[in-house]
Amino acid sequence: MSIIGLVALTLLLGPFGSIPFAFAQGMSTFDTAIAVSIIHATLVPVWFGFFEFIGYSMRYKNRIISRVMGYAAAKSKRFRVDIDGYIRKFERRTGQFGFALGVVGFTFLVGVSWAALCAYILNIKKKTILASIAVGAVISSIFWTFVFAGIVGALPSPLVLYLILIAVTFAFLIYKKVRERKLLQKIFRPLLRSR
């Protein structure tokens, strides 16, 4: 049951949710680093497979933007063209290896699911991106394991760390949801007034 919980928390919350859970289950620092790294790296092809299965780019382009928000479609298209230009320029300047290192850093900062989603939406080459995201996932898992291992010594129980991090994660998710709702109101308010 603890393996299922570890996989589920890694999928939902990344290392931030799964590492404290592993410590609360009594796993050692080394075992936690290995287990979370393997699970986190395995999620990279899973996310890409999921996006391809549901055909996310078609739904993104046709249903959500084109049918719902005509104004946002133009902005989104321009944004994607600009981002694509910046990505190609960055890749030309730094080369394939430098681009891969940039993706590793991006994955370390934002996580596997967001890195995979951005790569899929922007149609970045899969052979470059899969390995880079997997390396970023492993590095972030190992880094956070050792950070949390140092913090755990100062806390009375790994369960306390787990509860604190879950509370921080949910507070962050609620904050993001409120921001998203305000942004949607800002986008749709002019559309509703024009009716």
How many Å apart are CA 96 and CA 123, to the nearest integer? 16
Binned average pLDDT, 10 residues per bin, the chain of 195 residues: 80 79 85 87 84 64 53 64 74 73 79 79 74 85 81 61 77 82 77 67
Residue 164 and residue 39 in contact, taking contact as beta carbons nearer than 8 Å: no
pLDDT for the residue 69: 53
pLDDT for the residue 187: 75
Q: Taking the model in full, what pTM does it have?
A: 0.57
pLDDT for the residue 21: 84
Both tokens assigned to 27: 């796993």
> Which H or E run includes 48?
helix 29-54
pLDDT for the residue 75: 61
